[in-house]
Amino acid sequence: MKRRDILYGLSLVTILFLVGCSPQSSPTPAIITISPEPTTLTPTPTSTNTPFPSPTATPTATPVIFPREIPATPESLVTPVYGESDDRAYRDVVWSPDGKSFALSGDGGIYLYLAENLSRVGWLQAKSIVHSVDFSTDGKYLASDSGKTTLLWDVNTQELDYTFYDHNDQVLDVVFSPDGKFLAIASADGIISVNDVNTRQAISRMKGHTDWVNSITFSSDGSMLASASLDGTVRLWNVMTGESIGTISAHNQGAYTIAFSPLDETVASGGADGKVRIWNSRTLQTQSEFYGDCVVVTKLAYSPDGNILAWGGMDGRIRLWDTSGQKLLSVLSGHAGVILGLAFSPDGHYLLSSGSDGTAMIWDLSNLVGGTR
C-alpha cells in the first residue's frame, strides 16, 4: 500500500474521530454555516456563523439540499449521466481543453475516453498508482505521476514522450500553467518543481513546506503558484524565481487541496479540519470560511467562469457553492467512497468526479448552471 493511500485510508479516518466526527454519521439539511470573519493570517472560527437557508421541501430519501431559490426535484436539477466502475479507485480526473475527451487516472495507468459517446479510446500504462493527471492547454500532452517521477505523454500517439526526475519521494500533484509553457510538480518530499515543457529544463524549485505537498494550483495569469501541505499551511510562490510570497496557517490537521479562481486573485483551500477557506492571494486575508458536516475536504474545483466552487470530501458527496451569490446550490450524492477527483468541463455544464469506491461519474449541471447566471 502506498503512503498516499494510507493518508486517505487511515490518517483521514483517524482525524475524523480526533475532531469529534464519525464517518458513519448522517448529515441533515442545515449542516453548513458560513462566516465572513476573521481576516487574520491564522483564522479562528467566530460565533457569528449564519446557517444556509432551508430548502423549500426538506429532502427525505435523498440527502441533496435545495435552497428555496431553486424549485426543482433532485432528478431534474442535477443528474449523473454516466458511471464507470472499476475494482480499484480512480484517483484523478481531467477534461481535455476542447471538452471532447477526458482522462481518469487509476491504479497502474490512465484511461482515455471520448465525451461524445463515452467510449474508452486509450490506456496509458504506468508502473504505479497514478495520483494526478493534467492536460496541457493545447491538448498535446498529458502529464501524470509515477512514483517519484513525472511522465509526459503524447496524446495523439499515446506514447511516453519524456520523464522528469525531480523528486526523491512520491509525486502527488502535477499541473500545467494556464499558457501551457510550464509544468509544476508537487511531492511528498515537501518540494515543488517547475519545468519548461518545451526545453524540459528546470525553471525553479520551491522549498519551505515541512511535510507532503498534496496539491498545487496556478493563478489565472500564471505568475503565482499556490500549494497546500500536510504541514497545515498554504503557501504562495513566484513561479519564475521560486521565492515564497507568503504563508498562511490554513488548516489545523493538514491542508489537502487548493484551487485558484479563474476570475481573480482568490484562492480556496480545504483540509482535514472540515473547512473550506477563501483567501485573497495578494493580501493573504480571509474572505470567507465554510463550515459543516465535519467532513475532511479532499478536493476543490472552480468552474471555468468562476461562478461555482465544488468541493468533495470523505463522505463521498460533492457540494456546489455559488461564489457570487454566496449560497449553497446543491449537494451531489452518488459516490460511496472518498472524493479524489473533480473537474468541470470547459463549458462548465458538466462535472466529472471520481472516488475511492472505484467509480467515475459525469454530472449534468445544465439546469443548475443556467440558474446561476
| Residue 28 maps to a domain | no
| Residue 137 maps to a domain | yes
pLDDT tens-digit profile of 229-250? 999 999 999 999 999 999 988 7
- What is the structure's pLDDT at 294? 62
| Residue 294 maps to a domain | yes
* Per-residue pLDDT band at 214 (split at 50, 70, 90): very high
Residue 9 DSSP symbol: I
**What residues have CB less than 8 Å from 186, skipping those under 6 apart?**
171, 172, 173, 174, 192, 213, 214, 215, 216, 227
| Strand positions, DSSP E, 239-296 | 244-249, 255-260, 266-271, 276-280, 286-292
| Residue 42 maps to a domain | no
C-alpha cell at 336: 460511496
| Residue 43 maps to a domain | no
pTM of the model: 0.79
| Residue 189 maps to a domain | yes
C-alpha cell at 226: 499556490
| Residue 37 maps to a domain | no
d(CA 292, CA 282): 27
- What is the structure's pLDDT at 293? 65
- CB-count burial class (<10 Å; 0-12, 13-18, 19+) for 306: middle
C-alpha cell at 97: 481543453
* Count of domains for the chain: 1
Tell me the CATH number at 257: 2.130.10.10
Host domain of residue 258: 3-21+58-371
| Residue 53 maps to a domain | no
d(CA 152, CA 250): 32
Q: Which residue has the cell 494526478?
A: 132
pLDDT tens-digit profile of 308-343? 999 999 999 999 999 988 888 888 988 888 999 999
d(CA 277, CA 178): 23
C-alpha cell at 264: 481573480
Overall residue count recorded for the chain in this entry: 373
C-alpha cell at 146: 509515477
- What is the structure's pLDDT at 292? 58
